Each structure stands twice: as C-alpha cells, then as structure tokens.
C-alpha cells in the first residue's frame, strides 16, 4: 500500500488551532495505514506545505477537511472526499479508509458551471457552502475588528475619550492619529467581509465585486448585514455571469477575467447595493423619530426597544439609529436616554467574553482569545467585537445579545443613571451619575446573555458530535 499517494487540504474559519489538528490527525492515520500523504494547511498566516501541480497530478485521491475555501478547483478530475475540519480531526482514520476504498466524488473539469450547480445543489451541501463562505468572510474580517478596536480603546484609555476632538480641552494629536488609524481598520470591516464571502463563492473574480459591493453598502449606512448581503449577491452573480459567458470562445478567457467579470459585476452589484441603501436609510430615519417619541415612556418598554435595536445589527443601521438618537437627545441636555444606549452597546462584546470564560471548553482557541479581547472592546463601548460570534450563528446568537442588551438598558433606565458622554464605555465612569448602578446593570445583562450563549454553544457542539457519531455508525454498518 505504500505507493498509494494521498493529498489533503485543511482549513478552519479562524485558521489557528483546528487547521493543524486536522493535519496532524490525517498524517498519523495515514502513517498507521502505511500510506503516504501530504497535507496542505490554510491557516491564519496563509497557505503552508503547498501542494504542487505535480503532486496533485500524481495523487490517487484528495481529502478536503475544511470549513473555508481551499481552492478545490485545482483538483478537477480527481476523486475528492470533502468534509468539515472537525470530521478531519475526529474521523481521520475513516477518511483514509474511504480514500483507499475509492469513495468520494470526481470533481468536474468545468469549474464555473460546476461551481454554480454545486452551490445550488442539495440542501445539506447548499447550507454548508453558505456557512463556509460566510466563515471565509468572517475569518478575514476578524483581524481588522481586533486591530481597529484595540487601537481606539488605547487612545481613549491613555488620553481620554475626547482626545480626538480638536475643539476639546482633552485634544491630543497622537491620540487623534491613533484613533484615525483604528477607525480606518474598523472601516475595512464591512468591505472585507463582503469581499471574502464573494471570493469563497466565485474565487478571484468575486473578490473585487464583493469589495466594491461592501464599500457601497457601508457608505450607504447598511452596516454589517448589508455587507453579508453584498458578499452573497456578488458571489452568486459572478457564478451566474460565468455560466452565461461560457458560450464565448476559450481565447476570450483572459478578457473575461480582467474585463467582463469586474466591469459587469461591479456595475450590477454596486447599483443594486446603492438602490438598497435608500430604503434601508429611510427605515433608519423612521426609527429615529419613533425612538425620540418613546423618550418619556415606561423604562421597561424603552429599555427593551433600545436594547433590541443596539444588539440587532451591532454597528449597523438599526444600532446607529438608536445611537444617533441618543447623541441628538444628549445635545438637547437629555443624559438618561444615552445611558441606556451605551449600556446596550457595551453588553454584546461582554456577553461573548462571559460565554467564553464560563464555557471555555466548548469554544475553539481563537474564539476564547476573541472573547477575552472583547472584555476590553466592550468596556470601551466598541460593540463590533461581538460581530464574528453573531455572524457564525445569527438566528440564535442575535436574540441572546438582544436579551442581554435589553436587561442592561432596562435596569439602567430603572436606576435613572445619567451618562453625559456619547462614547467611551467604562472610561466615562468619572462623569456618570449612578456609577455603581450602571456597571451593575451592564454586568447583569452581560452575564445572563453570556450564560445563554454558552449553553447555545454547548448544544451546537453536542449536536455536531451526535451527527458525527451517527455518520460513523452508518459507515460501520455499511462496511460490515
């Protein structure tokens, strides 16, 4: 069996631990079977142990154990076994056995047409490809959020929260410069998310269209949800375009890549996102007047409304509507409304921090590290640190964040806390009226949300394990 050649590619969304665990598991399983294998890894620092064209050509089978794009189009014509990275870690021996037994499907030669069919194929593979492409965007976005958020937090912590404002006595040129750099990194968040979602779907031609779609979405004020929409629209539109332009002669392939895809793609997706920005903005302004009308109502109702809005699309249009209303009321001398908005914006990152602190073993290393960083980001009113957690499982995570933020806002309004600053998180505590009550409100909301988020993660890990065990049992029944 020693002359049997296997190749593999591994990659997880964050590219830190799982990528290399899967590599090690596959290498050990192959060694046990006396088979040679070369495993290429797609980690946070890029591609390592890269497979050459010669190695791909000579390989008898390919194992892809990844939850991100590992450029499978290179393996056209080869037998491929495509699984998630966690299956690569837990089930490496079975994967090697399957490869030796001739299982897996042959990748089609026609990349573009095949990609569209594959993306819109059976429900399970479609669901998985949606997740995979979303994760491709999130993993590339994560370092921008962390870098930008920490730099802004440092400028606030060292020089004060108004140190960037030339009209304020606190103004400091270095602080302003540091905040500007942090803002630039944060500003890249939505375009990078959109670009790499599109790149995951349609490879390089999707990248430029996703980038531009993301920038248009961001400039139109549609936030991170607009970025996700732009990424998927861009990716699938390019696949559609590839299918239509497939009738053109082969000699025009270069022209398609450098001219037709980017020009048509950017035009169509840019226009679509521009047209969507208007309605989203109108919704935004409607919400602001709606909120201002709530101002003197029951603290319970006001707190739930503000909490849900701030956590629904952290940093997006709905969040901004609540924040801008708070700032506008602040300018009119109302300091209580802003207190609830701040509490609701601080809670989501802290929720992820407490979840990873209390339920650490159910989160991967990178999520645990991000959770710790989020204690810093949350404490300085930078909500965006929670986005990568929300993007992975929005249906369950966003309501949890909304609940935690609502509890924090409701308690803040009940205690009558007053916060005269529009930003800065706990750094503004010296000027807050009702300091202890405010911190208490935020901690209660964050801990409740954190515990729920921890249980959600625990249940999803258990479900994955159950599914993997069921698959294993099915396989063993078949082989017997």
Catalytically active residues are: 12
18: Cα separation from own chain's centroid: 17
For CA atoms 95, 99, 101, 105, the dihedral sign is positive
Contact 269, 233 (CB under 8 A): yes
3-state secondary structure the chain: CCCCEEEEEEECCCCCCHHHHHHHHHHHHHHHHCCEEEEEEEECCEEECCCCHHHHHHCCEEEEEECCCCCHHHHCCCEEEEECHHHHHHCHHHHHHHHHCCCCEECCCCHHHHHHHHHCCCHHHHHHHHHHHHHHHHHHHHHHHHHHHHHHHHHHHHHCCCCCCCCCCCCCHHHHHHHHHHHHHHHCHHHHHHHHHHHHHHHHHHHHHHHHHHHHHHHCCCHHHHHHHHHHHHHHHHHHHHHHHHHCCHHHHHHHHHHHHHHHHHHHHHHHHHHHHHHHHHHHHHHHHHHHHHCCCCHHHHHHHHHHHHHHCCCCHHHHHHHHHHHHHHHCCCCHHHHHHHHHHHHHHHHHHHHHHHCHHHCCHHHHHHHHHHHHHHHCCCHHHHHHHHHHCHHHHHHHHHHHHHHHHHHHHHHCCECCCCCCHHHHHHHCECHHHHHHHHHHHHHHHHHHHHHHHHHHHHHHHHHHHHHHHHHHHHHC
Pair of tokens at residue 196: 């790499």
């Amino acid at each position: 069996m020693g002359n049997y050649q296997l190749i593999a590619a591994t990659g997880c969304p964050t590219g830190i631990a799982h990528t290399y665990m899967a590599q090690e598991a596959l290498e050990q399983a192959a060694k046990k079977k006396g088979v040679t294998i070369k495993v290429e890894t797609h980690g946070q620092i890029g591609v390592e142990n890269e497979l050459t064209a010669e190695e791909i050509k000579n390989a008898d089978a390919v194992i892809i154990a990844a939850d991100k794009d590992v450029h499978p189009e290179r393996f056209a014509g080869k037998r491929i076994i495509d699984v998630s990275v966690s299956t690569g870690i837990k089930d490496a021996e079975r994967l090697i056995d399957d490869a030796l037994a001739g299982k897996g499907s042959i990748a089609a030669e026609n990349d573009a047409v095949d990609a569209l069919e594959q993306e819109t194929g059976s429900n399970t593979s479609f669901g998985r490809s949606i997740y995979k492409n979303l994760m491709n965007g999130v993993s590339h976005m994560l370092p921008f959020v962390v870098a930008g958020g920490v730099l802004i937090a440092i400028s606030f912590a060292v020089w004060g929260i108004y140190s960037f404002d030339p009209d304020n006595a606190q103004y400091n040129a270095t602080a302003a410069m540091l905040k500007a750099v942090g803002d630039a990194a944060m500003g890249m968040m939505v375009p990078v998310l959109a670009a790499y979602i599109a790149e995951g779907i349609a490879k390089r031609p999707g990248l430029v269209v996703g980038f531009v779609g993301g920038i248009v979405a961001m400039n139109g004020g549609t936030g991170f949800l607009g970025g996700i929409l732009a990424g998927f629209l861009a990716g699938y539109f390019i696949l559609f375009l590839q299918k239509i332009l497939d009738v053109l002669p082969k000699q025009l392939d270069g022209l398609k890549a450098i001219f037709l895809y980017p020009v048509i793609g950017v035009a169509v997706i840019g226009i679509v996102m521009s047209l969507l920005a208007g309605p989203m903005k109108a919704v935004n302004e409607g919400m602001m007047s709606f909120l201002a009308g709530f101002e003197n109502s029951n603290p319970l109702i006001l707190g739930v409304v503000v909490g849900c809005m701030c956590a629904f699309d952290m940093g997006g249009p709905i969040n901004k509507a609540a924040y801008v209303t708070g700032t506008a009321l602040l300018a009119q001398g109302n300091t209580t409304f802003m207190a609830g908005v701040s509490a609701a914006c601080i809670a989501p990152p802290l929720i992820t921090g407490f979840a990873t602190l209390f339920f650490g073993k159910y989160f991967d290393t990178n999520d645990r590290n991000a959770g710790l960083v989020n204690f810093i980001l949350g404490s300085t009113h930078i909500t965006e640190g929670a986005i990568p957690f929300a993007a992975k499982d929005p249906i369950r995570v966003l309501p949890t964040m909304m609940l935690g933020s609502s509890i924090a806002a409701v308690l803040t309004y009940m205690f009558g806390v007053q916060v005269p600053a529009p930003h800065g998180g706990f750094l503004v505590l010296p000027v807050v009226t009702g300091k202890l009550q405010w911190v208490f409100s935020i901690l209660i909301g964050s801990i409740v949300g954190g515990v729920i988020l921890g249980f959600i993660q625990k249940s999803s890990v258990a479900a994955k394990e159950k599914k993997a065990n069921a698959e294993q049992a099915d396989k063993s029944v078949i082989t017997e």
